[in-house]
Structure 1
Amino acid sequence: MILFGSKSGPGFVSCQQVLNVMVILGFMFNYMLRVNLTIAIVDMVETNVSVANSSTKSRIDETRFSWDSEQKNAILGSFFWGYVLTELPGGRMAEIVGARKIFGGGMLMASILTILTPAACYLNYYVILILRAFLGFFLGATWPAIQPLAVSWIPPMERSKFIANMMASSLGAALTMPVCGFLISTVGWASVFYVTGAVGLVWSILWFFLVFDSPAQHPRISDEEKRDLEMRIADGEGGRSVRPSNVPWKNIFLSAPVWAIVITHACSVFGYFTVVNQLPSYMKDVLKFNIKENGLLSSLPYLGKYFMAVISSYLADRLRKSGTMSTTATRKMFTTFAVMLPGFLMIVEAFWGINAALSVSVFTISLFFNGAVTAGYLANALDIAPNFSGTIFGLANTLSSFGGWLSTKIVAVLTKDESTFDTWKYVFWVLVFTYIFGGLVYLIFGTGKIQHWNSAKTYPEDGKELQPLKKQADIEREKELIA
């Protein structure tokens, strides 16, 4: 039995299925390489030490560092210095040279840097700052690279499910926390970087062996699978897409549908960062309940968000493919569900959030609903401009990357005098406004219609939505007529 297929016939697992599995694992390990330091640094820093740059031995004979709070936060934040620089270029480069090189190369370099992290820590404080910035530089290019890959491998009416694979990053976060905690307690903090880096390295090697930019470039795909994919993709897009040689920057920056995606993504990510990174402090300081110490409760939001992403994306593609709902209506419905419902839940938190059990429920349900963004605006760039989907997502992710920094500053300003329910209520109202504003912007300006500047040639169908694929019976009838 041939596992991955060959030119002569399909294998037990199709090349498209292999691609899906590798993308799921890729985003899991992508987030693992990103958050491993946030877990390990708790054990890396020596407390109650006043001498700068000195070090002591931990309980398992490991060096700890005397970084103060400012230095610690600078190390954690340096990741974003590089991250924001490559979001937009990464999406565009994936459109030019292919997602295989950008996503795989970014993960490969990030894995190597992760393995080198302990050595960087021992060398100098500034070395680890620079290393983390370069780590962000390489990982920043990976996220927008996946959208161009979907254009070549996934039929238009099935792309929501493929984009849901990006939410496997939530699974990565849910698994990384307990695994890293176990490694720290049994082997030491350095093992976190060696293990996660090695996992990323193995994945990167497999990626370059198993994944290619299109069915036409895959050396082991069967003729049957290749022909089927190319026919369904061409059929869904009407065969009318001619990639322009240059990016229509003016059209992109003046496009209301593009800005609907960018603004809604920024609002959604701002809310996500605030709920995940800032509100646990509220739970601990105000409600005297440390959710991060409860492994089950701390992982529930991540797991819930991933499962909602998969379920909603499956439903979205089913609605679009059957013709039950248009792409525009589908995207708007799921975006409203994913972005505005968390906003309304924050109203509940603003009035009755003094109850710990209610707060945990609100935060968890909020992130659960937010997983439906994959069926909403997150896949929308593939609808309106598949040829520039990487560029659009890169633009959206560049601006939204400031969300984590901005939420930290807002919480710091609003709670600087005292961390009480009365001061945190203002944080909740900020989230109410942000979520609902993002949802309203998309409701007004969002669309599923393909934009005229997506193609180098103008067709009568431009400005219309991509159509559902023909039913298999129609395809077979056409084959018989041709024969």
Structure 2
Amino acid sequence: MASARKLENKKWTDILTCRQILNIMVILGFMFNYMLRVNLTIAIVDMIEIQDVPFTNSSVNSTSTKPLINRMAETRFNWNTDQKNAILGSFFWGYLLTELPGGRMAEIVGARKIFGGGMLMASILTILTPAAAYLDYYVILILRAVLGFFLGATWPAIPPMAASWIPPMERSKFIANMMASSLGAAATMPVCGYLIDSYGWASVFYVTGLIGLVWSALWFVLIYDSPAQHPRINEEERYEIETKIAEGEGGNSKKPSYVPWKQIFLSMPVWAIIITHGCSVFGYFLVVNQLPTYMKDVLHFNIKENGLLSSLPYLGKYLMAIIASYIADKLRKSGKLSTTATRKIFTTFAVLPPGLLMIIQAIWGMNAALSVSVFTISLFFNGAVTAGYLSNGLDIAPNFSGTIFGLANTLSSIGGWVSTKMVAIITGTQSTFDTWKYVFYVLVATYIFGALFYLIFGSGKLQTWNNPEEHTRQNGQELQPLKTKAEIDKEKEINMA
């Protein structure tokens, strides 16, 4: 009888915890986040006939009398190299505008609205992309900038959520969920290749946009900003989360009422994160945006091979992100390494080898097998950033982790735009290996500088300005358990009876 009553009272939260659901949704969220970002990088290979001709507003090459949706799938555009790179780079015009505001807004109003809202709007704009391209070159240019505007706020929103849901010694593993973006890129490349080959390039945007819409709806149903706000969390799970956070570094339930901007901008540990993040992501964005073009122009892969082979580096990066974050949290928990030592070791491991590998790429990159291997191994190493600088903002200032991430991603967004302009300038007249090798040498210098800067100035120590003396309690009760552990245990005994 008691067992039957226990079965009746069993809730879904006893099978899958709220934190496990959060992890799953964040993993899927970043997969689909990058899906919405990189779908154009492979679709554009099939969208255009690259001709260095004078620009005209009417750049559509299609005389079909079929319905608009079918014509869009068959249309080719006479965009030259500069125009193509301007479209790829326009994403960053909007992206950099919302990085810092997005991080701060997530600290104030919560990541649920910022991350979910950004994904929802980006999904809608993705579905509208074929129509924008068909209408006019400038229309798709503006649409991609607005799409970047909404996605720009999403990444800095996650560290504040980690500060509310994840104990300090487990945060590397949670931050590794953000590297599911690489998994999303890996899945998107071959899928887009198949869709283009079977249904035309427009199908890429309809399919990926619809997936984003479904995820957004689930996010708002399942996810909340803190354990205290979650209507379906059981009290035992809430007690465990809030107690561990309160006992850990930076677990103060009192939130500052202002941002100590002066201390942040004068902090070298903050600049170590910003500079190294900018250098690392500069290389990553360049690969994400330009690898399909390099494989087509220099290595001469067709669209299906292009999608599959372009995906391999991202799979490697996600695998390393999981491995490195697990090892880092284990080392920190055991006390074998300090947080500072852990972050420096894994950052160096993640950023220096890709720089050295780009030397090989610059010399022997004409070899297709070697080139694919170099990019794959390079991003495999780079996945360790989750155990390095990417988690570091939560170490030094959890109360302002969104702001710090926003600052870092603003610089990296500028770098993303610069990378597209750089490639356009270097390879604009002739996209050959002789021109691309200069791109790779720039990556060598960028990666090595970033690794050395963090090695010198990085730190894992909690900064004093994380909890200024003057502060107000913002939702102060959120980090206090509803009941004591003894009360929860007693209630469980009664229910078991």
Same fold flag (TM > 0.5): yes
CA distance in 2, matches of 1:424, 1:347: 12
Following superposition, the deviation at residue 287 of structure 1 comes to 5.6
Q: 1:393 aligns with which of 396, 405, 415?
A: 405
Following superposition, the deviation at residue 283 of structure 1 comes to 5.5
Residues 49-448 of structure 1 mapped to structure 2, 5 A cutoff:
52-54=58-60, 55-57=62-64, 61-63=70-72, 64-69=75-80, 70-237=82-249, 239-240=251-252, 242-278=254-290, 293-414=305-426, 424-448=436-460
Once the two structures are overlaid, the 10-residue window that deviates more, 19-28 or 267-276, is 267-276
Aligned length: 461
Residue identity opposite 2:32 in structure 1: F
1:98-144 deviation digits (Å, cap 9, x = unpaired): 00000001111111222222333344443333222211111110010
Once the two structures are overlaid, the 10-residue window that deviates more, 92-101 or 343-352, is 343-352
Q: Give the aligned partner of residue 12 of structure 1.
A: 15
- Give the 3-state SS of the residue equivalent to 1:57 in structure 2: coil
- Give the 3-state SS of the residue equivalent to 2:63 in structure 1: strand
CA distance in 2, matches of 1:53, 1:418: 22
Is 1:34 the equivalent of 2:37? yes
Query: Quick check: 1:242–1:456 contact (8 Å CA) kept in 2?
Result: no
Residue identity opposite 1:321 in structure 2: K
Following superposition, the deviation at residue 294 of structure 1 comes to 4.5
Following superposition, the deviation at residue 173 of structure 1 comes to 1.1
Following superposition, the deviation at residue 352 of structure 1 comes to 4.3
TM-score normalised over the length of structure 1: 0.87
Q: Give the aligned partner of residue 476 of structure 2.
A: none
Structure 2 unaligned regions, length at least 5: 471-484, 491-497
Q: Give the aligned partner of residue 461 of structure 1.
A: none
1:433-456 deviation digits (Å, cap 9, x = unpaired): 211111111111100001111112
1:341-383 deviation digits (Å, cap 9, x = unpaired): 1122223334444544333222211111000000000000000
Residue identity opposite 1:66 in structure 2: F
Following superposition, the deviation at residue 28 of structure 1 comes to 0.7
- Compared with structure 1, are the counterparts of its residues 175 and 239 closer, same or farther at alpha carbon in structure 2 (3 Å cutoff)? closer
Identity of aligned residues (%): 76
CA distance in 1, matches of 2:64, 2:395: 55
- Compared with structure 1, are the counterparts of its residues 46 and 436 closer, same or farther at alpha carbon in structure 2 (3 Å cutoff)? closer
Q: 2:26 aligns with which of 11, 20, 23?
A: 23
- Compared with structure 1, are the counterparts of its residues 155 and 406 closer, same or farther at alpha carbon in structure 2 (3 Å cutoff)? same
1:269-306 deviation digits (Å, cap 9, x = unpaired): 12223344446655555566679734443211010000
Following superposition, the deviation at residue 182 of structure 1 comes to 2.5
Once the two structures are overlaid, the 10-residue window that deviates more, 70-79 or 213-222, is 70-79
- Give the 3-state SS of the residue equivalent to 1:85 in structure 2: coil
CA distance in 1, matches of 2:222, 2:15: 15
Residue identity opposite 1:316 in structure 2: A
CA distance in 2, matches of 1:397, 1:293: 32
- Compared with structure 1, are the counterparts of its residues 121 and 19 closer, same or farther at alpha carbon in structure 2 (3 Å cutoff)? same
CA distance in 2, matches of 1:44, 1:345: 32
Following superposition, the deviation at residue 11 of structure 1 comes to 1.6
- Compared with structure 1, are the counterparts of its residues 285 and 202 closer, same or farther at alpha carbon in structure 2 (3 Å cutoff)? closer
- Compared with structure 1, are the counterparts of its residues 23 and 6 closer, same or farther at alpha carbon in structure 2 (3 Å cutoff)? farther
Residue identity opposite 1:429 in structure 2: Y
- Compared with structure 1, are the counterparts of its residues 80 and 407 closer, same or farther at alpha carbon in structure 2 (3 Å cutoff)? closer
- Compared with structure 1, are the counterparts of its residues 291 and 189 closer, same or farther at alpha carbon in structure 2 (3 Å cutoff)? closer
- Give the 3-state SS of the residue equivalent to 2:98 in structure 1: helix
CA distance in 2, matches of 1:78, 1:406: 11
Following superposition, the deviation at residue 254 of structure 1 comes to 0.8
CA distance in 1, matches of 2:429, 2:198: 40
CA distance in 1, matches of 2:254, 2:430: 58
1:238-285 deviation digits (Å, cap 9, x = unpaired): 654632111111111111000000000111112223344446655555
Once the two structures are overlaid, the 10-residue window that deviates more, 64-73 or 144-153, is 64-73
CA distance in 2, matches of 1:38, 1:276: 8
Query: Quick check: 2:41–2:288 contact (8 Å CA) kept in 1?
Result: no
Q: Give the aligned partner of residue 474 of structure 2.
A: none
- Compared with structure 1, are the counterparts of its residues 288 and 95 closer, same or farther at alpha carbon in structure 2 (3 Å cutoff)? same
Residue identity opposite 1:34 in structure 2: R
Once the two structures are overlaid, the 10-residue window that deviates more, 212-221 or 426-435, is 426-435
Once the two structures are overlaid, the 10-residue window that deviates more, 128-137 or 67-76, is 67-76
Structure 1 unaligned regions, length at least 5: 459-474
1:311-357 deviation digits (Å, cap 9, x = unpaired): 10011011111111110010000001000111222233344445443
- Compared with structure 1, are the counterparts of its residues 383 and 169 closer, same or farther at alpha carbon in structure 2 (3 Å cutoff)? same
